[in-house]
Amino acid sequence: MAKYYNKQDLVKILQNKADALGRMPKPEDLDNASVQAVLSYFKKWNKALKTVKPAAVSNHLQAAHNSKKKNHPKPAKKIEKTVSEKKPEPEKNTKQDAVSHGRRRYSKSIITQMLLDEFNRLGKKPTRKEIDENKNLPTVATCLNYFDTTRIGDVWNEILK
């Protein structure tokens, strides 16, 4: 039999998890039933997190910060080298680094264009399964993250405006 949650129960679950983690909880930090209950009540994860009192998290972080401060002396002032003594720093290519580690970087506009191209290729909206199976597209979870929603329908509504 399914358990029914009210708002106070859900806020308490999120608050306890935030206190335990010392940060705001992510959906993967909770069990599936709790995540589903939170999302069905609040509709969006960020809306649910707004109910969590950040004081508990910030108190925990402040305590950790203060304990680090006491144990470490202040570092000595950094002496700048002259231009001739400085070694040139290698250029950082974050996009290439991300791809080399098996990760890609996207933007909302890139995801929009990729999904529109797939829409035009198929002649219909691709299903969640079709999106996840296509290795040239970002996963559904990535799309939902960039569009700050939990429903793929909301993503399509925004894309096809």
pLDDT in tens, 29-59: 888 888 888 888 888 888 888 888 765 545 5
Asked if residue 2 belongs to a domain, the reply is: no
Range of the domain at 60: 7-71
Structural contact between residues 60 and 19, judged by C-beta atoms closer than 8 angstroms: yes
In tens digits, the chain (161 residues) has pLDDT values of 456 778 888 888 888 888 888 888 888 888 888 888 888 888 888 888 888 876 554 555 555 556 555 555 555 565 555 555 555 555 555 545 444 455 677 888 888 998 999 889 889 999 999 988 988 888 899 889 889 888 888 888 988 87
Instruction: Tell me how far CA of residue 84 lies from CA of 78, 88, 89, 97, in angstroms.
Output: 17, 10, 13, 29
**Last residue within a domain, chosen from 16, 38, 71:** 71
From the number of C-beta atoms within 10 Å of its C-beta (0-12, 13-18, 19+), residue 143 rates as buried
Residue whose structure tokens are 């935030």: 18
- Kindly state whether residue 79 falls inside one of the protein's structural domains: no
104 and 149 together in one domain = yes
| Assigned domain for 111 exists | yes
d(CA 71, CA 20): 24
Q: Is residue 99 domain-resident?
A: yes
Both 63 and 110 in one domain: the answer is no
Whether 80 is in a domain gets the answer: no
Is 106 inside a domain boundary?
yes
Yes or no: say if 141 and 151 are a contact pair by the CB < 8 Å rule: no
Domain count across the chain: 2
Domain-embedded: residue 36: yes
DSSP 8-class letter at 28: G
Looking at the fold, whether 63 and 108 belong to one and the same domain comes out as no
* Long-range contact set of residues 135-138: C-beta below 8 Å, sequence gap at least 24: 138/104, 138/106, 138/111, 138/114
Residue 154 resides in a domain = yes
